[in-house]
Amino acid sequence: MEVKINYVAVGAAAIAMWIIGAVWYGIFSTQWMAYTGITQEMAQTMTGKDMAILYGGSVIAYFIMFYVQCHVHHAFQVKDIKGAAQAAFWNWLGFVAMSMYVSNSFQSKSIGLTLIDSGYWLIGMIVGGIILVKMQKKETAAN
């Protein structure tokens, strides 16, 4: 099965996911920090290298996720925004939300943390999936 990957679209989806995370966790930072036990003082001890590894690693992970999402879109013939949103939702529900719920439950983490974190992933995956479809259509129209 040959899948045409639009790497620019994958990169755009990854960057969008990162931006959504910056906004999302900016909105929910107080609650998220309370749920995780991370304090402002702890966050301020991070070095530039720590931040580069953390944020750079996140973007690489998002890139891989949306690369895989291209394969899902191909396998299920996702061609429009509705299909992209549905694929993202079902992948999120089955793999992301359930993994977070189980992991956080066994670590005695608050359901609030699970809701904040998984909510971010839901929105980011839907937006990223839509970017993949829209940019794929533009690429197909140009060829």
pLDDT, tens only, 12-63 = 999 999 999 999 999 999 999 999 999 999 989 999 999 999 999 999 999 9
CA distance 29 to 47: 19
Mean pLDDT, residues 114-137: 96
Quote the pLDDT of residue 84: 98
Q: Is the pLDDT of residue 143 over 70?
A: no
CA distance 90 to 121: 12
Task: Find the angle CA(114)-CA(22)-CA(91) to the nearest 5 degrees.
Answer: 45
CA distance 123 to 26: 15
Token code pair at residue 2: 């040959």
Those residues with Cβ within 8 angstroms of residue 136's Cβ, 6 or more apart along the chain or in another chain: 4, 6, 9, 73
